[in-house]
Amino acid sequence: MTVPTNSLLLMRKIYTNIFPSVKAEWSKWKETAERIPDPELRQQALDVYEKKYFHCEAGGVISMLAGSYSHEAISFIVPYQLICDYLDNLCDQTTSFNPDDFAALHEALHDCFFPGQPKSDYYRHRETKNDGGYLNALVEGCRRVVEKTPSFAAAKPHVLDLSRYYSELQIHKHVREEEREERLIRWYESRKSELPEEMAWYEFAACTGSTVGVYCLMSCAMQPAFTPVYARMVRDCYFPYGQGIHILLDYFIDQEEDLEDGELNFCTYYKNEKEMMERFLYFLQQAKKGTEQLPHAKFHSFLIEGIVAVYLSEEKAAGKKSVRGHCRKLVHTAGPASIFFYWNGRTYKTYRKMRQAYK
């Protein structure tokens, strides 16, 4: 399978090749989760399959960068995403708020990139730990792919960095409410020299919360010609700006829910909606600019445009009158494909809602 260069071909491949492959891989792991002995851990694992399947679908789209090796990329992306979502559930449901516990759990993501090395005891700070080998199996699933990835050496330093950023965010954001903002600010201060320019601490935190960069790097590394220079270009495209627009839009559509639930939401730190939308636009423009020099630039541009379209086609964004004009501007700035993806997303979500209603 070649990397698509037009939006119609892209959508056809997504529906006929990518989504079925993602579903097959996802179903295999779901059967493993159903056999988890501990009822609490089983519930948290199965909750991911019930509510977060679309994360795997979105990751699967990125696998097209692997060309004819997209199936191998999906075999990494799905278990890695399942680990992220499972650990997020475990951290969300904690009663201890222990950062050492969160750090131990997220060592699983680091271990994914080191085939043959001993694994950590991820549950060492928890009483409930009998998952029947589920988390270890997910790590091994990722390792099997990493071991056979032709150009992993080129991607390795960057996937380790992005994975570490992601894990550190999860540690800081899940501590007690009165501690988390101070921790996140201190963390930003310790990392801001690694950024191309200064930004707000909450924008940096958003940039670290995406797995898009890891999936792009791993998919590209399936190609034997993937070089360290190319890998650096991919990393710089998606971190910070590509990942930043992804997570900022994710928080944007969840603002009202997060406010009701007392959850941290980075968008609430902007002075007003005008400033927020101007920063969204800047992140989008920088991300689009980063795609221009990349091999398969058109597809990378599609990914950025698709991220904008997917989130802004959500009813929570499309139905928000106060920012509707800003949303339209973002979609149009993203590019003509974004408009196509936007309406495709609206149609697909309506279709899924109708199917669920008639089940």
Segments making up each domain of the chain, as ranges? 7-358
**pTM for the structure as a whole:** 0.92
Residue 346 has pLDDT above 60, yes or no: no
**pLDDT of 319 strictly over 60:** no
Contacting residues for 227 by C-beta, under 8 A, at least 6 apart: 151, 154
Beta-carbon contacts of 319 under 8 Å, excluding residues fewer than 6 positions away, are none
Sign of the C-alpha dihedral computed for residues 42, 55, 93 and 169 taken in this order: positive
Residue 38 has pLDDT above 90, yes or no: yes
Residue 320 banded pLDDT, cuts 50, 70, 90: low
Mean pLDDT score, 35-47? 97
Query: In the prediction, which pLDDT does 294 show?
Result: 94
CA distance 270 to 305: 23
Quote the distance between the C-alpha of residue 76 and its chain's center.
Answer: 13
- The 10s digit of each residue's pLDDT in 50-104 is 999 989 999 999 999 999 999 999 999 999 999 999 999 999 987 889 999 999 9
- The architecture of the domain spanning 7-358 is Orthogonal Bundle (1.10)
* pLDDT reported for residue 217: 98
The predicted pLDDT at position 323 comes to 57
**Residue that wins the pLDDT comparison between 189 and 337:** 189
Lowest model confidence (mean pLDDT) among 45-49, 131-135, 277-281: 277-281
Band (pLDDT 50/70/90 cuts) for residue 7 is confident
Q: What does the pLDDT read at residue 351?
A: 47
Q: What is the pLDDT of residues 134-172, one digit of tens each?
A: 999 999 999 999 999 999 999 999 999 999 999 999 999
pLDDT of residue 296: 93
* pLDDT tens column, 235-285: 999 999 999 999 999 998 888 788 777 789 999 999 998 899 899 999 999
Q: Chain-wide mean pLDDT for the chain?
A: 90
Within 17-66, residue ranges assigned H as helices are: 19-33, 39-51, 53-62
Alpha-carbon distances of 233 from 5, 85, 167, rounded to whole Å:
19, 28, 23
Average pLDDT over residues 109-126: 97
* Contact of 130 with 41, CB cutoff 8 Å: yes
If pLDDT is split at 50, 70 and 90, which confidence band does 312 have? Answer: confident
Structure tokens that stand for 177 in this block: 């409410």
Contacts of 102 (CB under 8 A, 6+ apart): 91, 94, 170, 171, 174, 175
Over residues 284-307, the pLDDT tens digits come to 999 999 999 899 999 999 899 888
Residue 72 contacts residue 145 (beta carbons within 8 Å): yes
Helix axes 99-111, 134-148, angle to 10 degrees: 40
Instruction: Indicate left, alpha or beta for 98 from its phi (over 0: left) and psi (-120 to 50: alpha).
Output: beta
What CA–CA distance (Å, rounded) separates 250 from 307? 10
Rounded to an integer, what distance in angstroms lies between the CA atom of residue 65 and that of residue 153?
A: 17
* Average pLDDT over every residue of 211-236: 97
